[in-house]
Chains A and B, each alone.
Chain A
Amino acid sequence: MHLKLTKYDIIAQYRQGFYLVYGIITVIYIFILFSVPVEARQVVTAYFIVSDTSILGMVFVGAMVLLEKQQIILQSLFITPLKLTDYLWSKVVSLTVIAVLVSSFIGFVPGGMLSNWWLMLIAVLLSSVFFTFLGLGIAARVSTLNGYIAGIVLGGSIAGFPIAGYFFFHDLSLIFPVNAAIELMVVQPEKLGILNGTMCVLSLFIWCFIGYAFAKKQFEKSVIRY
């Protein structure tokens, strides 16, 4: 891990307004969550986290990579001693910081996630890592912003589609990342059980690894061998 690179990524994201935009979005989510009845708050919070704040890395990383491609930064970056894995992890870590911060605010201020707080943090952390890697892999392949958005809509739908299985083949469906993240966030820790809990975390870990391998391969194929 290259801490300096991560630091500069965070500074760049701050300057490009990520923190401002998500600050506003967080306030709105908190406002909405306070108006949701207490008994439904946890589920609605989980919905906001799964549909937006835990996957924000996927949305933003593509634009960052495309801009760097267009400004010929990437091509120059990889003739320096910097390793590809450092570059990828720096993007993932810097964006996961925002994801965890924002999710914590909307999860803890209105209180929907207080009973599941550490499970939520694990779910957000691992989902964000997986989806940002997925975004990186897609960004390596495309050359326009619209191409990227279409790619993540497709990739996100494929990753999110098994959500339907959550209601029909509940236990089996936990091998999919979105389902595992939902399980960790909406089931109370004492009801979750060690087996189910471990399976969810393990499944998310494996997806992160798959995402990492995908991103690395796509970069090696489309960006580095120019």
Chain B
Amino acid sequence: MANYSQLIKSDFRNIGRDPMLMMASIAPVLLILVALFVFTLVSGLTEKHLNFPLAQYFTFGYIFLIIIAPMLLGMVYGFILLDERDGGMIGYISITPLGKSGYLMVRMLVPIIFSFLFCMMFFLLTGFHDFLNFLQLGILALIIATEAPMMLLFLGAFAGNKVEGIAISKGFGILLMTLVLDYFFRGDWRILLSISPLWWIERGVMNPQYIYPYLFGGAIVHFIFIFLLYKKFIRRVG
């Protein structure tokens, strides 16, 4: 644990140095502000001018915003990992007592903890506890928080260098697109979207009466993805 705390401490020092980490730490606050104020403001405007209130889409909008934070954190930590790997840092760390797996553990754990806290805060401020109990919210937050290591491992497993990392991170937007397709379109074909881990989260929140089956499915899909990506990443780092 002492070894971990050293790297975690230096990570916190990094927040001051790395402008993107700083932005990623501010982003969750901005996302909450958007959910609390911008949504109602825009809905007020569309109701006044177009006679079309957006309140019915708020819950869907919230899910979209909640998911952005862990994805962003995972991406930022993933970019740090790519920078460190391109620079040969992981090789150096692997011969310290922390080791390669310890290094990866810290890289994964820090964004999970941040994301979990963010999700819980977001849920409570936007009134998710009106239709889900605390146990359900806790499990949901934990599942959403694992988006972060998923992004990180995805970058680590498939990007040969930072240029490929940027190319891959462009593709992450496609994952978010599955939510939009599922919500705004109709038809049985949407079951195909269940391959996206985000689909389970959206379905669970939009159908709270079936929350447990969706949480269960979501946890399994997330676990499978993380397991496979971890394997691939370890093979890649050698």
Q: Which residues of A are at the interface with B, using a C-beta cutoff of 8 A?
A: 16-18, 20-22, 24-25, 28, 56, 59-60, 62-64, 66-67, 70, 144-147, 149-151, 153
- Cross-chain contact of B166 among A22, A63, A144 (Cβ < 8 A): A63
A-B contact pairs, 23 of them (CB 8 A): A17-B164, A18-B167, A21-B167, A24-B171, A24-B174, A25-B171, A25-B173, A25-B174, A60-B166, A63-B163, A63-B166, A67-B86, A67-B161, A144-B18, A145-B80, A145-B162, A146-B19, A146-B20, A146-B79, A146-B83, A149-B20, A150-B18, A153-B23
Q: How far is the CA of A21 from the CA of B80 in the complex (A)?
A: 22
Given A145-B82, A146-B21, A149-B20, decide whether A16 and B163 contact each other with a Cβ distance below 8 A: yes
Minimal Cβ-Cβ distance residue in A for B164: A16
Known: A16-B164, A67-B162, A145-B83. A150 touches B170 (CB 8 A): no
Distance to closest chain A CB from B56 (angstroms)? 20
Cβ-neighbour of A146 out of B18, B86, B168, B171 (below 8 A): B18
B80, B167, B177: residue with the most chain A Cβ atoms closer than 10 Å: B167
Distance in angstroms from A33 CB to nearest chain B CB is: 13
8 Å CB contacts to A: which residues of B40-77? 76
Which residues in B have some Cβ–Cβ distance to A below 8 Å?
18-23, 76, 79-80, 82-83, 86-87, 160-168, 170-171, 173-174, 177
B77 and chain A: residue at smallest CB distance: A146
Report if A63-B162 is in contact (Cβ < 8 Å); known contacts: A18-B167, A144-B83, A149-B20: yes
In the bound complex, CA of A1 to CA of B119 (Å): 51
- Return the chain A residue nearest B75 by Cβ: A149
Quote the shortest CB–CB distance from B181 to chain A (angstroms).
9
Contact of B79 among A25, A149, A153 (CB under 8 A): A149
Decide if the interface of chain B is mainly helix, strand, loop or mixed.
helix
Contact across chains for B167 and A16 when beta carbons are under 8 A apart:
yes
Cα distance A66–B163 when bound, in Å?
9
**Complex: how many Å from CA A151 to CA B161?**
20
Tell me, rounded to whole Å, the shortest Cβ–Cβ distance linking A94 to chain B: 13
Task: Using CB atoms, name the residue of chain A closest to B79.
Answer: A145
B32 to chain A, nearest CB (A): 19
**Told that A21-B170, A150-B23 touch, could you supply 11 new A-B pairs with CB distance under 8 A?**
A20-B167, A24-B174, A25-B173, A62-B166, A70-B87, A146-B18, A146-B76, A147-B20, A149-B20, A150-B19, A151-B19
Closest to A12 in B: B163
Cα of A60 to Cα of B23 in the assembled complex, Å: 20
Closest 7 CB pairs of A and B: A146-B20, A150-B19, A63-B166, A145-B79, A150-B20, A63-B163, A21-B167
Hey, which chain A residues are within 8 Å of B168, CB to CB? 17, 21
Give Cα A63 to B164, complex, Å.
8
A150 to B23, CA, bound (A): 7
